[in-house]
């Protein structure tokens, strides 16, 4: 791991790889002192989108790939119409950062899919991923350590954003049988508990299960025998009992979900209630501005809604910096399908459904062909990020776009190093 960092600073990589590493380091390294979704995160996300766009343009210029004139004209017409429609619909409440953010998210997905599908790149090879994971792992451990001992933050959400790491460690553990990856996987399990994030812990369990299914196809029924299931359940109940007796579980966010919270309701109800009010306010805004293009483009880039129902449920969690404008308008919408339809209409919904379709189709193909190349790693990792889509924004994270490109790249070229 230290050799990886040493090699990085000695410039032993190509220009594209060095730029990729630099963007990832700045993006996730900012978690150490600045937290998440700060100006640094937004800037580096934009830089990553520009980075893959420039690679795409360069590859298109140098390659013999030909796209028909009609396709160029059609795409130009659709994207320019969406851009202009968004600007004129939201001009009275235009927030430049929200507008540009939505543009970057939408085109970041498009560019990532095109780049991964058409061009074979070294940045998706296993050797590069190992080095990238080494750097990100150091950042993750430092972030958790600093947060626990110096900041005392109850939740360290960078662990959830970096499930890319445990996914690769679990994949390598099954693939190579090397003990180092077992130890790294156990460390990630510990970090998911210390970080107090439900998603990271549950997803790690799901990843172990999914990788087991792919790597032990013939023995999966033996692994799921009644004896093994009873043993696992008994062990789980025993561990929960010990944690309860030592007042540890009560501090975990899982426990908070099912205990009385605000307004006398269950914590899990409060988690969803605010998001329901977001959707209700966004729906009212959509109806108020409804026109023929609303079906296809929603309310466009930079779409925001006036807080009515949500204001009645307003509390500090919804007041983070930059989430509410001076006109009492809000841009954040947690429910993924509602968010994409509100901002991008049916175009956005189709885009996400297509990604999910390709993702599942890839995993089914891998299972039927009994291959466990890096295509499997990218497929499972992307799927684990996609299951978070209904509840939280995910496509504003550069690692999602990287996984999307990587899956399509290996699916098409099988370029395993």
Mean pLDDT, all residues of the chain: 79
- Crossing angle of helices 336-369 and 374-386, in 10° steps, is 150
**Token code pair at residue 271:** 């988690």
pLDDT at 4 over 70: no
> Residues 117-144: pLDDT tens digits?
888 888 899 889 999 999 999 988 888 8
- pLDDT of 74 reads 76
Beta-sheet strands, E only, within 307-388? 329-330
70 CB burial (10 A radius; 0-12, 13-18, 19+): exposed
pLDDT at 196 over 90: no
- pLDDT of 316 reads 46
> Residues 69-78: pLDDT tens digits?
666 677 778 7
319 CB burial (10 A radius; 0-12, 13-18, 19+): exposed
- The rounded Cα 249 to chain-centroid distance in angstroms is 27
Beta-carbon contacts of residue 29 (< 8 Å; ≥ 6 apart) = 139
Beta-carbon contacts of residue 325 (< 8 Å; ≥ 6 apart) = 93, 95, 304, 331
User: If pLDDT is split at 50, 70 and 90, which confidence band does 258 have?
Assistant: very low
- pLDDT of 147 reads 76
**Token code pair at residue 371:** 């291959």
Could you tell me which of 281, 284, 289 has the C-alpha nearest to residue 93?
A: 289
- pLDDT of 244 reads 56
Tell me, what DSSP letter sits at residue 320? -
Q: Average of pLDDT values for 180-208?
A: 84
- pLDDT of 351 reads 92
22 CB burial (10 A radius; 0-12, 13-18, 19+): middle
For residues 90 and 145, the answer to whether their CB atoms sit within 8 Å is no
Q: For residues 58 and 136, which has the higher predicted lDDT (pLDDT)?
A: 136
User: If pLDDT is split at 50, 70 and 90, which confidence band does 380 have?
Assistant: very high
**Token code pair at residue 293:** 């293009």
pLDDT at 30 over 70: yes
- pLDDT of 286 reads 87
Q: Average of pLDDT values for 228-237?
A: 74
User: If pLDDT is split at 50, 70 and 90, which confidence band does 155 have?
Assistant: low
Pairwise CA distance, residues 151 & 145, whole Å: 9
Q: Average of pLDDT values for 331-350?
A: 89
- pLDDT of 264 reads 43
Beta-sheet strands, E only, within 222-345? 305-306, 329-330
- pLDDT of 250 reads 46
Pairwise CA distance, residues 208 & 269, whole Å: 29
Lowest mean pLDDT among 7-11, 164-168, 397-401: 7-11
pLDDT at 114 over 70: yes
Percent of the chain at pLDDT > 70 equals 74
- pLDDT of 408 reads 93
Lowest mean pLDDT among 198-212, 230-244, 342-356, 364-378: 230-244
Q: What is the dihedral of CA 315, 257, 155, 271, to 10 degrees?
A: -40
pTM surpassing 0.85?
no
- pLDDT of 266 reads 47
User: If pLDDT is split at 50, 70 and 90, which confidence band does 16 have?
Assistant: confident
Pairwise CA distance, residues 25 & 138, whole Å: 10
Q: For residues 160 and 198, which has the higher predicted lDDT (pLDDT)?
A: 160
Percent of the chain at pLDDT > 90 equals 26
Angle at 252 between CA 250 and CA 256, to 5 degrees: 70
> Residues 282-298: pLDDT tens digits?
888 888 888 888 888 88
Lowest mean pLDDT among 218-222, 256-260, 270-274, 311-315: 256-260
Q: For residues 415 and 242, which has the higher predicted lDDT (pLDDT)?
A: 242
- pLDDT of 263 reads 42
């Amino acid at each position: 791991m230290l050799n990886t960092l040493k090699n990085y600073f000695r410039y032993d990589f190509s220009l594209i790889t060095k730029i990729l590493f630099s963007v990832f380091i700045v993006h996730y390294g900012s978690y150490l002192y600045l937290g998440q979704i700060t100006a640094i995160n937004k800037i580096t996300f934009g830089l990553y989108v520009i980075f893959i766009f420039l690679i795409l343009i360069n590859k298109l210029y140098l390659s013999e790939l030909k796209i028909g004139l009609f396709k160029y004209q059609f795409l130009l017409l659709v994207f320019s119409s969406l851009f202009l429609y968004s600007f004129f619909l939201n001009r009275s409440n235009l927030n430049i950062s929200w507008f540009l953010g939505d543009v970057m998210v939408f085109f970041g997905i498009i560019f990532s899919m095109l780049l991964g599908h058409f061009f074979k790149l070294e940045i998706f090879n296993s050797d590069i991923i190992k080095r990238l994971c080494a750097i990100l792992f150091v950042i993750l451990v430092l972030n958790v350590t600093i947060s626990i001992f110096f900041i005392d933050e109850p939740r360290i959400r960078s662990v959830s954003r970096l499930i890319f790491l445990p996914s690769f460690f679990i994949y390598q553990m099954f693939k190579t049988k090397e003990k180092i990856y077992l130890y790294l996987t156990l460390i990630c399990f510990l970090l998911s508990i210390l970080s107090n994030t439900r998603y990271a812990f549950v997803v790690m369990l799901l990843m172990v299960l999914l990788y087991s299914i792919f790597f032990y196809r013939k023995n999966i029924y033996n692994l799921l025998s009644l004896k093994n299931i009873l043993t696992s359940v008994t062990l789980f109940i025993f561990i929960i009992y010990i944690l309860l007796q030592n007042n540890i579980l009560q501090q975990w966010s899982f426990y908070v979900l099912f205990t009385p919270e605000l307004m006398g309701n269950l914590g899990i109800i409060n988690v969803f209630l605010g998001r329901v009010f977001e959707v209700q306010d966004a729906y009212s805004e959509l109806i108020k501005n409804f026109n023929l293009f609303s079906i296809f483009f929603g309310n466009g880039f930079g779409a925001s809604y006036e807080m009515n129902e949500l204001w009645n449920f307003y509390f500090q969690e919804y007041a983070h910096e930059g989430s509410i404008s001076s006109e009492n308008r809000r841009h954040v919408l947690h429910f993924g399908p509602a968010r994409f339809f509100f901002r991008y209409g049916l175009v956005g919904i189709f885009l996400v459904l297509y990604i999910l379709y390709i993702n599942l189709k890839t995993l089914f193909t891998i299972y039927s062909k009994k291959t466990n190349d890096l295509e499997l790693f990218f497929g499972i990792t992307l799927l684990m990020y996609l299951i978070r889509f209904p509840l939280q924004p995910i496509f504003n994270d550069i690692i999602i776009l990287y996984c999307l490109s990587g899956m399509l790249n290996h699916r098409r070229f099988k370029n395993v190093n």
